[in-house]
Structure 1
């Protein structure tokens, strides 16, 4: 096939765009997780009227920017987003892990997981009656980390 200035393209050259398309699909999946977690947190706080605990606020501080960053990276097809989104996701994951371990009683603390303010350890702060909010946050950060690592592998390959 001849294009423009007598440049020929081969099937191999046409397939070189596939890793970018795969990376974009992974970015889209990471964005869907981040935007779902963000909208879920806003729904719980603003619609259900449940104020977040201190540890939930810290997790929000790392999830909300991920939703914005991943939106922009999907829009401009920036597969190098893993360089600055992955550290945010990892720090958020560490906070979520700590929160989950406190919630589950694995880390012995003399204080409740959520401190003196609002508590997410009540039965009304679970989804489907048995999935605690801290576990959802940990799952969301885990999924985003895995997807960003896959984006990194696709963009380097």
Structure 2
């Protein structure tokens, strides 16, 4: 990954982490179980992308991709549940329901949608930077 892509990925994951902590600690909105799993994927990315940026480690793609894609798949599933496209094959039993509406800005933007957008952007950046990195090495 090039430095600018690592920095952009770090910035996105940092904003998502701060936003998540703001929702739960300041606004006191409890996260559902799928939100917790997405947090497990997102929070370490802040540290991993920071280390990759500081050390100029273009190989950070290899240790961030599993978290990014894992978070994306969980987020897709969460949004499909949230918007009623599919039904849960298991109940979100601990704590808040994964389909409860806590925030809905402009009648569209929800917490699960914000997570999906972030993981989608991180996935796009990861794929683009990987292809860009490979192409630049093949030309040499």
Instruction: State the TM bucket, normalised to the shorter chain.
Output: 0.7 to 0.9
What TM-score does the superposition give when structure 2 sets the normalisation length?
0.86
Superposition deviation, residue 51 in structure 1: 1.2
Superposed counterparts of 1:7-156, under 5 Å: 23-109=2-88, 115=93, 117-119=95-97, 121-128=99-106, 130-156=108-134
Distance 2:61 2:126 in 1: 5
> Does the CA-based 8 Å contact 1:34-1:63 persist in structure 2?
yes
> Does the CA-based 8 Å contact 2:13-2:46 persist in structure 1?
yes
* TM superposition outliers: structure 1 runs of 4+ over 6 Å: none
Distance 1:132 1:102 in 2: 13
Range that drifts further, 114-123 or 26-35: 114-123
* SS across alignment from 1:118: coil
Kindly name which structure, 1 or 2, has the bigger radius of gyration based on alpha carbons. Answer: 1
> Does the CA-based 8 Å contact 1:103-1:121 persist in structure 2?
yes
Superposition deviation, residue 128 in structure 1: 4.9
